[in-house]
Structure 1
Amino acid sequence: MSKNNKELILSAPLSGPVLTLASVPDAVFASGAMGDGIAIDPLNDTLHAPCDGEVIHVARTGHAVTLRADNGAELLLHLGLDTVELQGDGFSMLVKVGARVSNGQPLLRYDLDKVARRCKSLVSLLVITNGEHFQARPITLKGVNVGEPLMHLIATTPGGTQDSEQDGGIEVRGQIRIAHRGGLHARPAALVRQTARRFKSRSHLHFDGRSAACDSVMGLMGLAIAEQAEVHVSCRGSDAEAALQALLATLSTALAEETQAAAPVARPQRHPAEDGVLQGVLAAPGLVAGPLVRLGAIELPDDVGGHDIQAQHQRLELALEQVSDEIRCTLDHARIRGDHNEEAIFDAHLALLEDPILLDAAHLAIDQGHGAPHAWSQSIEAQCQVLQQLGSALLAERANDLRDLRQRVLRALLGEACSFDVAAGSIVAAQELTPSDLLQLSAQGVAGVCMAEGGATSHVAILARGKGLPCLVALGPQLLTQASGQTVVLDADGGRLELAPTAERLARVQQAQSQHAARRARQQILAHTPARTLDDVHIEVAANVASSTEAAQALANGADGVGLLRTEFLFVDRHTAPDEAEQCQAYQAVLDAMGDKPVIIRTIDVGGDKQLDYLPLPAEANPVLGLRGIRLAQARPELLDQQLRALLQTRPLERCRILLPMVTEVDELLHIRQRLDALAAELGVKERPQLGVMIEVPAAALLAEQLAEHADFLSIGTNDLSQYTLAMDRDHAGLAARVDALHPALLRLIAQTCTGAAKHGRGVGVCGALASDPLATPVLVGLGVRELSVSPSQIGEIKARVRHLDTVKCACLSAELLNLGSAAAVRRACHQHWPLG
C-alpha cells in the first residue's frame, strides 16, 4: 500500500506474533547490523510480498528473498534463523530475480515442521537493508495475519527515492583485508562512517554473508570483523567509484592505536593470591596512596508508565542534543589543544550518539510506552549485550563507550549533576569508568583510578595514560565491596591494589611521592630562571596557551612568554562571533596574566577542517588544503580587520606580537602589514606590534629568507608542516602515528627556515608539538631554533634539557641527522647522542 512517492505501508508477509529486532535471538540481526526492521514468529507456511516491487535477489538456499519497493527501499525477507545451513532442504522459492511482484503475492513456501525441527528458530525477519535513507515505524507489536498493516516506511532523504531511480544500476564493488588492529571496533568504524558520509553514494560492508550500512557504527561493529579478515564493499550512486576507492583505502590503512605512543601496556598477569591485595591489570603506570572513594552508576527510578509518547520523544531529543553539544565542545577544545587521542575517542562517541540503530531502538521503546530514560537505557544495554556476545574482547571493551553515552544522556534526562563530589588526592573505585568520567575526575585532581572491569586497551586507559593518572583495571567484583574512606595503595606498575597497607608501606610510598614532588619542586624553582646552554646561549622557553587562565598557569610554571595564543578559543562553542570589544578584553587579559612577558597571538585559524556555526563555508573535498587560516581572512577580510583592531588596542603594544597562519607567499604578508598600518592610522595608534609568519607549509619554509626580509619573526608550526610535507592528514586515525616531525625531510625544512631567517637577523621559534618533545630539543637547538613554545606543564623539563646542551655539538650532530632516511632512524640517533633521563 503506497500513500505517496515517499511513504509506504508494509503489510505482514507472515502470520504470527510480532517482535522487535532487539528481541531476536541472533546477535547480528538484533544489533541492526543488517538494517532496521521487524520480526514475526510465523504460524503459516508461506511468505508473502509486503508491498509491490521487484525481486532483486534470491538466496541460493531458498530461505530468503530481497525486494526493491517502488520508493527505493530494499527489503530483505529472511525465513528463520541459521536456515542457510539447511541448504534449501524444506524450502520452495516461487519467484525469480527480476520478477515484478504485487503486494500479498506468495514468494516462497516451506515445510513448517521440517524446518522448525532443524533450524535455530523460525523467527523471521523483514529488514530494510538500505535503511539509512528511510524511517521505519512499526504499526503494531501484536499478532498479525498475512496482509495486515505492519510497518510505516518513510523516505527521509532524496537518496530513498531519487537515487534509487537515477542510480539504480550504478554499483561498484571491491574487496580488501581489514588492516585495523583488533578489527573493526569503534574508532575505525567511525572512520569508515566519516569516509562514507563524504559521498552521495550508498555504501555497504559485506562480511560472512552479512551486511551493514557504512554510515552506522553499531552496524559495522555488529559484523564482528577481525583484523586481516577479507570484506567486500559495495557502493551505489553517482560518485560510487570515488566512494569505493576512499573506503578501500580507509579499511586497508592500519589504525594507529593510541597505545603505541603511550607507555607500554602490560599483558594481564595473575599473581598468587595475597591477603589484603586485589590483583589487576596495568592500564596507566604510577604508584600512589590515598583514601578510596567508590562511585556507583546512575540508578533509574521505576518506570510507572502512562507517559505522553510525543513528550517523551521530545524529551529524548532535547537530551541527545544537549549531550551532542557537550561532545562537540570537548572535540573543539581537544582540537585546539592538539590532543588527537581525546579527539579520536570523542569523534567515535559523537558517531555513536547519531547512530540510527541506537536512536530507532530508543524511539521504538518510547512508542511501546516506556519513559525516555528507560527507553534510552534499554537501547544502550541491548547493544552492549550484542558487542559482548560477538566473541571479541576488544569489541566487549568498546561497550564501555556506549555506557558512557548512557550515563551522559541519562544525566541530561534526569537533571543530575555531571560532576562527582570527589576530593583531590582520592583513589576512585568503580565498576567501569567512562571516558567522560575520567576527564572529570582528572580535572578534580584525583590521585588514581581503579575498576572492577575494563581493559588495558580501552579508551579510558588511553586517556588515563595521557593524563598521567595511575590506573588499574580488571580488579574483579571484590573491589566494589570495599568501603569508602579506607587508605589504600594503588601500585599500577605492579598490578596491585593494597587494601590494608602497613605503616611502613605507606611511608615508603609517601617517600617515593615526596621524592617525585621534590624533583618537580626543584624543576619549578629552576623553571623561573633563564634556560642557557653549557656554552651560554639563551633559549627562550615559552608556552602554548588558549586562554588567560592557561597564560597565568604558564607564568607560574616559569614561561618566558606566550609563544602561541590560539585565538580560536574565542570563536568556538558559540552561535555568534565575538565583537571587537570582547576580543580586545580577552587579549588584554592574556597580556595582563603574563606580567612583563611577550605574548605571540595568532590570528584566527579556522575554516576547512575547523568549522564555526555562524560562519557557513562551502563543503570542501579536502578541507586541510582548502579555505583556512590567512586564506579565510582574504575571503572574509572583515573578520581579520576586526581582530587586528582589537589587537591594536591592547597595552603595552610592544608586548603584543601578531602571528599569521598559513602564509605561503610574501604578497600575503605585505598585504596584511598594509592593513595593519591602515587600521592603526584609523585608530590613531602610532606604535606597531611585531608581525610574524607561521612556517607551516613547505612553500613558506622554502621562502623563509624572502619572508624574513619583511617579517619581524618566524614561528614554525610543526604539526601542519608535518602533514603537508609528508602528505599525511594528521587527523587521519590510520596515519597519525606516521606523522612524525622528526622526519629528516621536516628537519631539512626547519634548517632552511633558520638559515633564511638568520640572513636578516630574525629569530625563529617552534610552537608545534615537536617543541614539547624532550628528545627533539637538542635537534631544534642545533638547527638554529632559539625559542621553544611548549605545553605549560613541560616548561621546567624543557629548560632542564636545554641546560645540559652544547649548541656547537648540537649543530654538528643535527647536521648529520639530515642525511638519515626516516623519522625512526632520527629518533634512534637522538637517543644515542642525547639520552633522556
Structure 2
Amino acid sequence: MVNIVVVSHSLLLAQGVAQLAEQMIQGGCRLAIAAGVDDEAHPIGTDAVKVMEAIASVDDPAGVLVLMDLGSALLSAETALELLDRDMAQRVRLCAAPLVEGTLAAVVAASAGGDLPRVTTEALGALAAKARQLGEPADQPAAGPATPVMPADGQSVSWKVLNPNGLHVRPAAQLAGVLAPFKADLLLQKEGRGVDPRSLNQLATLQVRQGDTIRLLASGPEAQQALDAFSTLARRGFGEHVDARAGMVLGGIPVPPGGIRAPVLKLRPARYHARSETISRAQVTGQQQRLRSAMAATRGDLRRLAHRAGDAMGPDQAAIFSAHALLIEDEDLLRAFDQRIARQLAGAEAAVQHELLAMAGEYLAMEDPYLRARELDIRDILNRVLGHLGAGPVAPLSIGDGDGVLLVAEELMPSEMIGLERQKVKGICLSEGNIWSHSAILARAQGIPMVVGVSGCMQATRTGQMAALDMTTGSLTVDKPAGGKKAGLDEA
C-alpha cells in the first residue's frame, strides 16, 4: 500500500495535519512526519536526515508519496532522496499538492488501495472541490492519467436519455457490450466529463440520469460503426422498453394490496468473508491463478442464472445477471486484483474482497438511490467468488416441499431470488434490504410480495410459527406462542 510522508517547517503544523489525516486512514496506509529542527531556540525548519528517516520508516513496494509545505522543505526532500538507497528512492514521489488538502486526499486514495500515480493525482486535484464551491477556476492535476481527448477529425453523436432510471447497471451493460468489439477510440461525455464507455465501472461513475444528454465521441478505423451501433441501441432504450412520451414501460405481475398469512421459514444464506493474510512472493502467481479460476467459475454461474431468469421471467431480468458477468470481465478490475496480490502480498480471497467492497462503497456514495442499491449486486458477486475460492459453489436456497411459506431473512441477494416459486413462497420479509435493489425487482417480477426494513423480524420469529405480512402497511404480525401475545413489527 502507498504510504505518506508530511514534511513541514513546523512540528505543530505537521502533527495537526497528521491528526486530521489519521481520522480517515482507519487501518489503511501509514503516515510519517518529518518536521522542525532540533534547536529549541529556532525550531522552525526542515532536516533532510529526518525526511530520509521518515521515508524509510514507511517504505513499501507500492511506493511513498511525500508532501511538503514551503520551499526549503522541497530542498530537504530532494536531498533525502539522494541519501536513500537507490532502490528505495525510486519508489518515492515528491508531490507539489497543497499540504493539508493534498495529504487528506492522498491518505483516502492510498487507504482505498490506489497505486502511486492514482494517489498523486488525487492529492494534486485536492483543491478542485474548494475551487468549485467558491466559483473559482480549478487547475487540472499536473500528473496522472488525463481524460482522453479525441483528435480533431473525430466524429460524435448525442442522445438525450429517456430511461427513467438513467443508465443503471443493465442499460450500461448493454452499452458496454455493444461498443466492445469496435476498433476505435471511444469517449462518452456528460457535461464535459468523459469516461470509457466500454467499462461498466467507469459508466457507473458518470451517473447518467433521465434527461441527461450524453455524447459519444469516436475516432479510428471503425468509429462510424461504433457511432451507428450506439445510435441504434439508444433508440431502443439501451435494451429497455422506453416510451418517448411516458418513459419506461415495465412488464410484471400486479400484486394487489392486502396481506398474506403463512408459516415462517427463517433463512440464513451462506455469507463468506475473507481473512486478512500475507503470502510470500513465491505464492503470487499461484494466488493470481486461483482468483482467475474462481472468477471464471463465477461468470459461469452468472450466465446460468441469466438463462434461468430469462426462461422464468423474461429478458429484462436475465439482463441483470448478464450485466454482472460483464462487470467482472472488466480488464481494469482484473488488473486491480492481480496488482493487489503482487504488490500487497495479499491472498486471493483478501484481494478480491478488498477491491469489490471498495467498488460497493463507491456505489453507496452515489446520489441516485437506484444506483446506490447496486452495491448489493457487488456483494452478491463477491460472495460467489469467495465461495469458489473456498467452500465451493453457492447453493440455491432450500425451501422444501411445503404449500407456501413466508421467508424471513436479514437480506437476500439477487442471485438467491432465482428459483423461488410463487406457490412455495407466499411472501418475503427482510430485516434489511432496499426497495430499489435487484432482489426487490426480481420479487416483483415473480409476483412474490416483499417487505424490506422490518427491524427485529429475525429475532421475533421462528421457523414453523404462523405470521401475517400486511402489504398495505408493511408490517409483520407474528402469532403468539401458547399463553403469550401477538408481536407486531413495522417496516422501517
Q: Same fold (TM over 0.5)?
A: yes
CA offsets, 1:35-69, max 9 Å, x none? xx9995644889xxxxxxxxxxxxxxxx9xxxxxx
Aligned residues with identical type, % of pairs: 25
Is the 1:15–1:44 Cα contact (8 Å) retained in structure 2?
Answer: no
> Are residue 369 (structure 1) and residue 369 (structure 2) matched?
no
Which residue matches 1:216? 199
Deviation, structure 1 residue 188: 1.3
Whether the aligned pair in 2 keeps the contact of 1:455 and 1:461 (CA below 8 Å) is yes
Kept after mapping to 1: 8 A contact 2:306/2:320: no
**1:206 touches 1:231 (CA, 8 Å); kept in 2?**
yes
Q: Indicate if the aligned counterparts of 2:264 and 2:461 stay in contact, CA closer than 8 A.
A: no
Task: Report the secondary structure of 1:364's partner residue.
Answer: helix
**Distance across 1 between alignment mates of 2:221 and 2:154:** 9
Q: Say yes or no: does 1:418 pair with 2:388.
A: no
Q: Do the aligned residues in 1 keep the contact of 2:264 with 2:408 (CA within 8 Å)?
A: no
Match of 1:6 in 2: none
Equivalence for 2:125: 80
Name the residue aligned to 1:428.
407
Partners of 2:66 and 2:235 in 1: CA distance: 40
Pick one of 140, 144, 150 that aligns with 1:126.
144
**Following the alignment from structure 1 to structure 2, what is the Cα–Cα distance between the partners of residues 44 and 309?**
39
**1:92–1:327 Cα change, 3 Å:** closer
Q: 1:351 matched to which residue of 2? A: 326
Q: In the aligned structure 2, how far is the partner of 1:89 from the partner of 1:470? A: 51
- 1: CA distance, partners of 2:474 / 2:424: 22
Counterpart of 2:457 in structure 1 is: 479
Q: 3-state SS of the aligned residue for 2:144?
A: strand
Shift of 1:432: 2.6
Q: In the alignment, which residue of structure 2 is the partner of 1:225?
A: 208
Task: Map 1:699-738 to 2 at 5 A.
Answer: none
CA distance in 2, matches of 1:449, 1:90: 52
Distance 1:286 1:499, change over 3 A: closer
Match in the other structure for 2:293:
318
Contact in 2 for aligned 1:204/1:211 (Cα 8 Å): yes
Q: 2:172 aligns with which of 189, 195, 213?
A: 189
Give the SS at the match of 2:158.
strand
Shift of 1:441: 4.2
CA distance, structure 1, for counterparts of residue 127 and residue 232 of structure 2: 33
Q: Is the 8 A contact 2:313 2:445 kept in 1?
A: no
Q: Which residue of 2 aligns with 1:491?
A: 470
What does 1:509-520 correspond to in 2, within 5 Å?
Answer: none
Change (3 A) 1:395 1:90: closer
For 1:418, what is the secondary structure of its paired residue?
coil
Report the secondary structure of 1:126's partner residue.
coil
Q: 1:83 to 1:466 in 2, by over 3 A?
A: closer
TM-score by length of 1: 0.39
| 1:499-522 residue CA offsets vs partner (Å, 9 max, x unmatched) | 23699xxxxxxxxxxxxxxxxxxx
* Structure-1 residue corresponding to 2:161: 178
Q: State the alpha-carbon separation in 1 of the partners of residues 322 and 426 from structure 2.
A: 27
Partner Cα distance (1:327, 1:390) in 2 = 25
Alignment of 1:222-371 (within 5 A): 222-251=205-234, 253-254=236-237, 255-256=240-241, 260-263=250-253, 287-296=260-269, 298-300=271-273, 302-306=275-279, 308-334=283-309, 339-367=314-342, 368-371=344-347
State the distance in 1 between where 2:139 and 2:315 align: 55
Partner in structure 1 of residue 187 of structure 2: 204
User: Kindly tell me: are residues 211 and 441 of structure 1, through their superposed partners in 2, closer, same or farther at Cα, counting changes over 3 Å?
Assistant: same
Report the Cα distance in structure 2 between the residues aligned to 1:229 and 1:426, rounded to whole angstroms: 44
CA shift for structure 1 position 190: 0.7
1:450 Cα offset (Å): 2.1
Displacement of 1:293 after TM fit?
Answer: 0.3
Q: Secondary structure at the match of 2:456?
A: helix
- Matched-pair contact (CA < 8 Å) for 1:286–1:469: no
Q: Which residue of 2 aligns with 1:460?
A: 439
Structure 1 residue identity aligned to 2:252: A
Q: Encode CA deviations 1:717-750: one digit per residue, 9 max, x unaligned.
A: xxxxxxxxxxxxxxxxxxxxxxxxxxxxxxxxxx
**Alpha-carbon distance, 1:227 to partner:** 1.1
Q: Is the 8 A contact 2:422 2:446 kept in 1?
A: no
CA contact under 8 A between 2:369 and 2:436: conserved in structure 1? no
Classify the secondary structure of the residue corresponding to 1:235.
Answer: strand
Please state whether the residue corresponding to 1:261 is helix, strand or coil: coil
The DSSP-based 3-state class of the residue aligned with 2:252 is: coil
Give, in angstroms, the shift of residue 80 of structure 1. 2.0
- What 5-or-longer segments of structure 2 have no aligned partner? 8-21, 25-61, 75-101, 103-119, 243-247, 483-492
Find the residue that maps to 2:194 and give its secondary structure: strand
Once residues 319 and 91 of structure 1 are traced to their aligned partners in structure 2, the CA distance between those partners, rounded to angstroms, is 43
> Structure 1 CA distance, aligned partners of 2:208 and 2:234?
11
Post-superposition CA distance 1:509-554 (Å, at most 9, x none): xxxxxxxxxxxxxxxxxxxxxxxxxxxxxxxxxxxxxxxxxxxxxx
The verdict on how the C-alpha distance between 1:450 and 1:127 changes in structure 2, with shifts beyond 3 A counting, is: farther
- Partners of 1:401 and 1:386 in 2: CA distance: 13
Provide the aligned C-alpha RMSD in A.
4.3
Distance in 2 between the 1:321 and 1:170 partners? 40
Aligned to 2:490: none
Q: Secondary structure of 1:218's match?
A: helix
- Which residue pairs with 1:97 in the alignment? none
Question: Following superposition of structure 1 onto structure 2, how do residues 76-115 of structure 1 map, counting pairs within 5 Å?
Answer: 79-83=124-128, 86=131
> What is the SS of the residue equivalent to 2:468?
strand
Is there any run of 5+ residues in structure 1 with no aligned partner, and where?
1-11, 18-22, 26-36, 47-62, 64-75, 94-106, 109-124, 131-163, 267-281, 504-837
- Name the aligned partner's letter for residue 392 of structure 1: D
Contact 1:489 1:501 in 2 (8 A): no
Shift of 1:376: 1.5
Task: Describe the shift of the 1:39–1:229 C-alpha distance in structure 2 as closer, same or farther (beyond 3 A).
Answer: farther
Per-residue deviation, residues 287-326 of structure 1 (Å, max 9, x unmatched):
2411230325514253232352222211111111111112
Q: Distance in 1 between matches of 2:226 and 2:458?
A: 48
Partner residue of 1:566? Answer: none
What amino acid sits opposite 1:454 in the alignment? G
CA gap of 1:357–1:489, structure 2 versus 1, over 3 A, is farther
Q: Which has the higher contact order (CA 8 A, sep 6+)?
A: 2
Q: How far apart in 2 are the matches of 1:499 and 1:248?
A: 53
Query: Matches of 1:380 and 1:229 in 2, distance apart?
Result: 28
The one-letter amino acid of 2:155's match is: V
Q: 1:170 to 1:324 in 2, by over 3 A?
A: farther
- Assess, with a 3 A threshold, how the Cα gap between structure 1 residues 286 and 328 changes in structure 2: closer, same or farther: farther
Tell me if structure 2 keeps the 8 A contact 1:292–1:427: yes
What's 1:395 paired with? 371
- The number of equivalent residue pairs is 368
Counterpart CA distance in 2 for 1:344 and 1:90 is 42
Map 1:506-655 to 2 at 5 A.
none
Report the Cα distance in structure 2 between the residues aligned to 1:42 and 1:173, rounded to whole angstroms: 41
> In the superposition, relative to structure 1, how do residues 198 and 395 fare at CA in structure 2: closer, same or farther (>3 Å)?
same
Distance 2:231 2:172 in 1: 13
Classify 1:129/1:41 alpha carbon distance in 2 versus 1 (closer, same or farther; 3 Å). farther
Cα distance in 2, alignment partners of residues 39 and 238 from structure 1: 41
Contact map agreement 1:427 1:449 (CA 8 A) in 2: yes
Residues 77 and 389 (structure 1), Cα distance of their counterparts in 2 relative to 1, 3 Å cut: closer
* CA distance, structure 2, for counterparts of residue 401 and residue 297 of structure 1: 16
Cα drift, residue 435 of structure 1: 1.8
Cα pair 1:295 1:428 within 8 Å, conserved: no
Distance in 1, Cα, partners of 2:219 & 2:63: 25
